[in-house]
A and B are shown apart, each in its own frame.
Chain A
Amino acid sequence: MRQLQYNEALNEALIEEMTRDEKVILIGEDVGAYGGVFKVSKGLLERFGPERIRDTPICESAIIGTATGAALMGMRPVAEISFIDFILLAMDQIGNHVAKIMQIAPGLLELPMVIRTEGGVGGGIGCQHSQSLEALFAHLPGLKIVMPSTPYDAKGLLKTAIRDNTPVMCIENKKLYALKGPVPEEEYFVPIGKADVKREGKDITIIATSFMVHEALKAAEALEKDGISAEVVDPRTLVPLDVDTLVASVKKTARALVVHEAVERCGIGAEISAVLNEKAYDYLDGPVLRHAGLNVSLPQNWHLEPVCIPSADSIREKVKSILG
């Protein structure tokens, strides 16, 4: 199958949806001539013009608010916030409005908007450009949240998100943009709310998100040499969470470890662990454990980064300590 980079797959999703539907517009910083900080909107200004590809000044709150207003009038805006850290400036718009408008006016208003953003540690760029803040948004009922880990999922989920009539956040990871993977030429969609078993196994379920899926897969491969068969499940969507797939996996393995890059405390791992505790307690041979980012403000220091987030090696060690 054809190989595409993660950012190319997202770019293709935008092109296809913008070609199909004139209501789809793009709003964000450096999304025009520059083609986006991570090159997701490359070539779109030339193709669709400045009315649909809107470069903004530095005004995150206004970017989200503007997208909201446009969506209220039936447009399908895709707002880009290049680093999830900057979304904190738009927290009122997202938390008090985007997540709530449809519930305030049940059946009266639709809000077909997508917020694309990214998180993750990488390259030594410090605490205000490396956070993984997905859990903040999972705490706001009214937002769907997808976190694609592969080019295939990225394209399929973004297309589904754009066609959804409710607000969807698509949270990417800076370490994924250059990742290559198979992406079919023909049109396809990935459903929101459906997890994906990325690798089958029988001794333990590793539930990993975003870039950590790849670290978990590497760890699973290495664990094979240790005689451990690990299953790797990628929820792909955090809200709504595909509880059935997670429970089915745990039923099979009786052990679960949740891995994410976000800091451990109140991360999505806490929610997943609680859900498994409630729904899969009878099948578990031990507690659901977490292996996540250190509870710390990330130093701007490439040398210290590995201490702050999980890696294939640390996941492997953690699994061995659980099953050892």
Chain B
Amino acid sequence: MVNAKELLTVAKSLPVDPELFRGLFRQILEVRLFEEETIQLFHSAKIIGYLHPSIGNEAAEVGATAGLAKADIIFPTHRGHGFFVARGASFEKLMAELMGKEAGYCKGRSGDLHMVAPEVGIMQVQGILGSQLPQAVGTGVAHQCQKNGRVTLCAFGDGAAGNGTFHESLNLASIWKLPVVFFCVNNGWAASFPFTKSTSAATNAIRAVGYSMPGYDVDGTDVWQVYCTVKEAAERARAGGGPSLIQANTVRWRGHDPSDTAPYRPKEELETWDLHDPVRIARKQALDRKLLSEADIEKLKGEIGKKIAQAVEWGLAQALPARADYLAEVSGKF
């Protein structure tokens, strides 16, 4: 048996920067409060259709985004609102899009499953699992040709890694030494199928070895660890050192989406979710390191809550796309 640990790379741990950490904590909280609100909106039928909340993945999404430069490109997963929030996307336009309103990021036509926000460097969410990987490789080709110094972070789930595109993309990115960071968010589940049954490796990170790139297996609930790892991988990519593969391990909160009661999940796992709750973990880290006080956190919560409430109110007040206008716009065009 191969010792998995020996095959993995461990990122250099950077000293915690108080200012940066406070910012990351704020973003983690933003993602959480944003998602708690979207779930409410889903249950009150203000968001209709698909919704894949990022709860459980906040630290992974926020940490990964922080490890990149502003001009770098992100391909989020279908559970990827956290990337949008971490990139500073407009809460108003996000909410409006999720509600199917004309004022949303994609004129209310893309919703949760196909959203895109080029203004903050975020490529389209994919409803087809794994299809983003070769496209991310393609952006890497463009970065290389354009010598633009940019890097692409391509996120995907542990489930999506089952598809052939995962292997094809890693190989291609490696032979061409492309500036791509493959970021697998393993939340333990792909719909009803657990990681332990779907994946023949202890961690996808080991697979990096076969594609001649570094593989990192990190605690995806530890924002600083994720940040340091993505930063290292992104800097290597930027310097011409080629791609890396990171698996960030998180725990999925409840069901696949708000309508899934997850009867297939072991009770113990649901009961111990608190231990893996990125908000609790980041909060404790902030308090222990004396970067924030309880009062600071309460104040922050109030501020963010207000900002989200305003975005919701704004979104609700926006118009749905008019059917006649839509018809006139698309008829005979495609």
Contacts and interface: CB of A to CB of B under 8 A. Distances in A.
B298 to A, nearest CB: 37
A124 B321 CA distance: 14
A56 B10 CA distance: 31
A85 B128 contact: yes
Contacts of B100: 124, 300-304
A86 B264 contact: no
A306 interface: yes
Interface residues of A, number: 37
A261 B129 CA distance: 25
B48 A123 contact: yes
B198 A294 contact: no
A58 B114 contact: no
A214 to B, nearest CB: 22
Interface in A21-69: 29-30, 32-34, 37, 55-62
B110 interface: yes
Interface string B50-79: 100000000000000000000000000000
Contacts of B112: 300
Contact of A58 (B108, B126, B160): B160
Interface string B320-334: 110100110011111
A178 interface: no
A86 B163 CA distance: 11
Given A58-B159, A59-B163, A124-B49, A300 B323 contact: no
A37 B198 CA distance: 17
Interface stretch (A125-133, A219-227, A250-258): A125-133
B109 interface: yes
A306 B324 CA distance: 11
Nearest to B157: A58
B327 A307 contact: yes
A19 interface: no
A88 B129 CA distance: 12
A58 B334 contact: no
Interface string B159-192: 1101110000000000000000000000000111
B118 to A, nearest CB: 18
Interface residues of B, number: 39
A128 B127 CA distance: 6
B111 interface: yes
A41 B111 CA distance: 30
A89 interface: yes
Interface string B118-153: 000000001111100000000000000000000000
Contact of B128 (A29, A86, A296, A302): A86
A59 B162 contact: yes
- Which of A58, A86, A123, A306 has the largest number of chain B CB atoms within 10 A? A58
Nearest to A88: B128
Contacts of B327: 294, 307
Interface string A81-117: 0000110110000000000000000000000000000
A307 B320 CA distance: 13
A58 B163 contact: yes
Nearest to B47: A124
Interface string A288-312: 0000001111011111101100000
Contact of B193 (A29, A129, A294, A299): A29
Contacts of B334: 295-297
Contact of A299 (B108, B130, B191): B108
A126 B52 CA distance: 14
Contacts of A33: 192, 264
A88 B164 CA distance: 13
B114 A126 contact: yes
A129 to B, nearest CB: 6
Contacts of A296: 330, 333-334
Nearest to A300: B111
Nearest to A302: B48
B155 interface: no
A129 B126 CA distance: 11
A280 to B, nearest CB: 29
B199 interface: yes
Given A33-B264, A61-B164, A301-B49, 7 more contacts: A29-B193, A37-B191, A57-B193, A128-B113, A295-B334, A301-B320, A303-B108
Interface of A: 29-30, 32-34, 37, 55-62, 85-86, 88-89, 123-129, 294-297, 299-304, 306-307
Interface of B: 48-50, 100, 108-114, 126-130, 159-160, 162-164, 190-193, 197-199, 264, 320-321, 323, 326-327, 330-334
29 contacts: A29-B193, A55-B193, A55-B197, A57-B193, A59-B163, A60-B163, A85-B127, A88-B128, A124-B50, A124-B100, A126-B49, A126-B110, A126-B114, A127-B127, A128-B128, A294-B330, A294-B331, A299-B110, A299-B321, A300-B100, A300-B110, A300-B111, A301-B49, A302-B49, A302-B100, A304-B321, A304-B323, A307-B326, A307-B327
